[in-house]
Amino acid sequence: MTSNNKKGLPLGRGLGALLSTNEPGIGGTTMVEIACIEANPFNPRTHFESEALEELAASIKALGIIQPLTLRQISPNRYQLISGERRLRASQIAGLTAVPAYIRVANDQSMLEMALVENIQRENLNAIEIGLSYHRLIEECKYTQSELGQKISKSRSDIANHLRLLKLPAAIQAAVRDNELTMGHARALLSISNESEQLKAFEAIKLNQLSVRDVEQWGKPSSIKPKSPTSKSSPKSAVVRSIENQLKAKLGLKVQVNQDAQGKGKITLSFNSMEQLNMILETLGNS
């Protein structure tokens, strides 16, 4: 990697401020054979939806590539992608053999920074891809979170929240990456310190469609107080007491008849032996 130049690369100004065009013959738009183009190893985007690529390929077939790709030349007939991987992939699907491109000069650190700027500012990276990109910039380009925030016009808390997602188990990160789990749910899972409990809560989210609030309360004592038994039933009416006494007299057993305000209830029969149980069954059978 080239020497650190983090103070001199104005990320917040976009790609143009990061691209050098001083070398002779470099700086215009030209047609480049797709076979001569290598992917950008610094591209933070790792997931490309096939349906979206097919739609873009259909557009390219009909209208061509409206916005050229941006490349850097790495040898006389070899180029490396700086930005435009979706357009490159869709062009291949559309059957193109060459694409229009801007040829620029950039070092490895600039490539990494430009790939991040290009994707975050112009495409919809998922939260895990953003977190991984932030992590690479901090580790490889030696930015602090505050410096990085200033460079890409993001708050320090936004950077910190995305970095924290990388602490989640791989299965949960994959769900965020595949848009099966919202960032809000993922952040709520971070409040659970135990990894096995995080995975249990994750399964509960999928099975029971838990809200973010539900996940935040995971493992905490319930704040809902149980109702007292007396609040579930109404005082026994004369009719209910009469029926209760009739059953006691007929069965010779302890009987409880409970009824709530809506008229619903239950009858409880208590017995002390198999003989008494058989007697209850015979009585009910003869009724």
Q: What are the residue numbers of the active site?
A: 85
Name the β-bridge partners of 221.
none
Sign of CA dihedral 87, 93, 99, 104: positive
Query: What is the identity of the amino acid at 86?
Result: R
Alpha-carbon span 69 to 101, nearest angstrom: 4
**206: region left, alpha or beta (phi > 0 left; psi from -120 to 50 alpha):** alpha
DSSP state of 225: P
Please give the backbone phi and psi of residue 192, each rounded to the nearest 5 degrees, phi first.
-95, 120
Are 132 and 44 spatial neighbours (Cβ–Cβ below 8 Å)?
Answer: yes
Tokens of 60: 């390219």
Are 135 and 167 spatial neighbours (Cβ–Cβ below 8 Å)?
Answer: no
